[in-house]
A and B are shown apart, each in its own frame.
Chain A
Amino acid sequence: MKLLVAVKRVIDFNVKPRVKMDGSGVDLANVKMSMNPFDEIAVEEAIRLKEKGVATEIVAVSIGPAKAQETLRTALAMGADRAILVQTDEEVEPLAVAKVLAKIAEEEQPGMIILGKQAIDDDNNATGQMLAALLGWPQGTFASKIEVSDTATVTREVDGGLETVKLNLPAVVTTDLRLNEPRYASLPNIMKAKSKPLATKSPGDYCVDVARRLETIKVTEPAKRQAGIKVGSVDELVERLKGLGIAK
């Protein structure tokens, strides 16, 4: 079975995003960029499925700027077999990403597509579900466990606990944090990744219009909370709690 994994180049999760003075967005100039953490988990899960003998080939896809090549090379160094970059300098929304991925899925015919549940920049949590809808495939979102036989059994992190669903294949799965701990690419594998195939395409190659449907009017800092007071003892804290009406 072939697996498709989608990866996005985003601001590194350790960097605190700064809103631009003119309110046009978040300042990404000279900021460290990395693979979206949830997508790293998706790549790792695909590799584990290959190591178990369930999957035979892993194709990593990214839709983004030329520099997203680096993100794909990371996926290749982790263990993906080949990569496709759909290059565009536009900021592409989840709906357009899902449309491009659906076209690639038609060409590649994967048995499963694994994506991160959300990107840590726009926080939409939508691409996987949209892709499943466009393909008419079932979806296992927020996965904390995936077992694949002739169907996929996916355990999902839901508000009230853990829900397990069974999906016919092909299917779309999106990853949650506790699915696995992604490996670091070893130096020999990083070197090897440089010679793995990476195809560059454009959204036009897939006849997908990537024009934005949502216009960003402005981006602002969230309202700051003022730090309050410090109390010196548990007795004082108890008095405060009484004042709030939550202690008698």
Chain B
Amino acid sequence: MSVLVLVEHDGKSIKDATLATVTAASKLGEVHALVAGNNVDAVAQAAAKIAGVAKVYTASSPALEHQLAEAVAPVAAGLMESHDAFVVPATTTGKNIAPRVAALLDVMQITDILSVEGPDTFTRPIYAGNAIATVKSNDAKKVITVRTTAFEKAAAEGGSGTVEQVDAAGDPGTSSFVSLDASESERPELTSAKVIVSGGRAFGSSDQFHALLDPLADKLGAAVGASRAAVDAGYAPNDYQVGQTGKIVAPEVYVAIGISGAIQHLAGMKDSKTIIAINKDEEAPIFQVADIGLVGDLFKIVPELTEKL
């Protein structure tokens, strides 16, 4: 079986989500990679070095610069004539593009897989992770999105794939990029951070959220996350949100502070290696999943913790 992986990149470098996707894809067959963008030779060279990638296809054109689904999907669908599966990281970019490719191929997508059980059998979370379904695809070709936290990352070095240019297809011209309002941060990205400190509604205000969490995150070299309640209350921007409807994370250490542990939040972080919870309510559901819990007032605990680290 030959498998086409969509490379997640920002025009300059490969995102870690790609590496986990390569691992998932390699369980199905020989891995080829698609780099779609504009002037992405450096990204293609980097993709060819990923362990396990045999071949890299580069599609380059101004229309592909921002990887809009309307432009990328026909390129991927074209390459699928010679591949058996299209495997994509379940990032916002991947989730935007993969179903569009699936429909062009008349295939039902297998979404957010957690494991590969066989050439056509996979497990995936349903009901916000409250149940795990084992599904078998009867489509001849597969379109799959991968929950990247469920797979080890392939080594970024060590491969020696070939690079081939492919036709970038025409610009459908139905959509255009206007702007990206990127959240600037010196801290690691949530989805690739080793340590995450996350805050909930208990912080009471945006000022207190940042005044207390930022210094702690700096001490731990951690990314900062937030519960949906904290985001909805305006304490933190949208892209801080960890949970079923936000980001799915699985760091080495996840520190949940003032977060009660709603199902929708747990769905986004329960695969973390070690979970630490700080909450004043000892009955909070977060303690049922935490490895280490500390009951108490976060306004006292967090400054003390930051100072003692």
CA of A17 to CA of B91 in the docked complex: distance in angstroms?
25
Residue from B112, B270, B275, B292 in contact with A123 in the complex, judged by beta carbons closer than 8 Å = B112
Taking CB atoms, residues of chain B closer than 8 Å to A158 are: 92-93, 180, 239
Stretch of B79-87, B97-105, B161-169 with 4 or more beta carbons under 8 angstroms from chain A? B97-105
Chain B residues with Cβ below 8 Å from A136 are 172, 174
Can you list 7 A-B pairs, Cβ within 8 angstroms, ordered by A? A98-B103, A159-B247, A161-B183, A165-B176, A230-B292, A230-B293, A246-B195
B275-302 residues at the A interface, CB under 8 angstroms: 275-276, 282, 287-295, 301
CB of A217 within 8 A of chain B?
A: yes
B18 at the interface (CB under 8 A from A): no
Question: Which stretch in B26-34, B35-43, B48-56, B133-141 binds the other chain?
Answer: B133-141
120-157 of chain A: CB within 8 A of chain B: 120-134, 136-142, 144, 153, 156-157
Q: Lowest 8 A-B CB distances belong to which pairs?
A: A228-B291, A129-B99, A213-B108, A126-B99, A133-B103, A130-B103, A138-B175, A138-B174
Contacts of A11 in B (CB 8 A): 127
CA distance A183 to B237 in the complex (A): 24
- Cβ of B29 to closest chain A Cβ, rounded Å: 20
Complex contact A231–B183 (CB within 8 A): no
In the assembled complex, A52 has its CB within 8 A of some CB on chain B: no
Q: A159-B91, A237-B292 are in contact. Are A168 and B104 (CB under 8 A)?
A: no
On whether the beta carbons of B181 and A161 are closer than 8 Å, the reply is: yes
Residue B304 is within 8 A (CB to CB) of chain A in the complex: yes
Q: Which residues of B contact A213 (CB under 8 A)?
A: 107-108, 137-139
A95 touches B107 (CB 8 A): yes
The answer to whether A139 and B131 have CB atoms under 8 Å apart is no
Inter-subunit contact A225/B73 (CB<8 Å) = no
Chain A: which residue is nearest B251 at the CB level? A246
> Which of the residues A138, A142, A229, A246 comes within 8 Å of B253, measured between beta carbons?
A246
B171 to chain A, nearest CB (A): 12
Q: List chain A residues, Cβ under 8 A from B178.
A: 153, 164-166
Verify B100–A17 contact, CB threshold 8 A: no
Residues of A within 8 A of B309 (CB): 238, 241, 247-248
Which chain B residues lie closer than 8 Å to A93 at the CB level? Answer: 108
13 further A-B contacts with Cβ under 8 Å, apart from A123-B127, A138-B174, are A26-B127, A95-B109, A129-B98, A133-B102, A137-B174, A158-B93, A161-B182, A163-B180, A164-B180, A214-B137, A228-B275, A234-B308, A237-B292
* Size category, A interface: 35 or more
Give the interface of B toward A (CB within 8 A).
10, 66, 68-70, 73, 91-93, 95-104, 106-112, 121, 125-139, 172-183, 191, 194-195, 219-220, 228, 232, 237-239, 244-245, 247, 252-253, 263, 270, 274-276, 282, 287-295, 301, 304-305, 308-309
Q: Do B96 and A214 touch (CB < 8 A)?
A: no
A124 to B263, CA, bound (A): 18
How close is A184's CB to chain B, nearest CB, in angstroms? 18
Shortest distance from the beta carbon of B289 to any chain A beta carbon, whole Å: 4
Choose from A16, A126, A218 the contact partner of B133 (Cβ within 8 Å).
A218
Q: Is the CB of B100 within 8 A of A129?
A: yes
Residues of A within 8 A of B305 (CB): 234, 237-238
A125 touching B181 in the complex, CB below 8 Å, given contacts A141-B96, A214-B137, A215-B138: no
Closest residue on chain B to residue A229 by CB atoms: B292
With an 8 A cutoff between CB atoms, is A84 at the interface?
A: no
Q: Which chain B residues border A157 with CB–CB below 8 Å?
A: 92, 238-239
Q: Are B308 and A238 in contact (CB under 8 A)?
A: yes
A16 to B10, alpha carbons, bound, how many Å? 38
Q: What secondary structure prevails in chain A residues at the interface with B?
A: mixed
Closest residue of chain A to B121, judged by CB?
Answer: A217
Residues of A within 8 A of B175 (CB): 138-140, 165-168, 171
A221: chain B residues at CB < 8 Å are 131-132
In the complex, the answer to whether A130 meets B99 with C-beta atoms within 8 Å is yes
CB neighbours of B270 from chain A (8 A): 225
**CB-based contact A218/B134 at 8 Å:** yes
| Chain B residues with CB under 8 A of A105 | none
**How many angstroms from the CA of A167 to the CA of B172 in the assembled complex?**
11
Assess whether A240 is interfacial by the CB under 8 Å rule: yes
Interface contact B99-A94, CB-CB below 8 Å: yes
Complex contacts, A53 vs chain B, CB 8 Å: none
Assuming the A-B contacts A141-B95, A165-B176, A229-B293, are A244 and B274 also in contact, with contact meaning beta carbons closer than 8 angstroms in the complex?
A: yes
Residue of A nearest to B287 (CB): A227
Q: Are A95 and B92 in contact (CB under 8 A)?
A: no
Residues of A within 8 A of B172 (CB): 136, 138
Contacts of A163 in B (CB 8 A): 66, 177, 179-181
Minimal Cβ-Cβ distance residue in A for B173 = A168
Assess the A126–B130 pair: CB atoms within 8 A. no
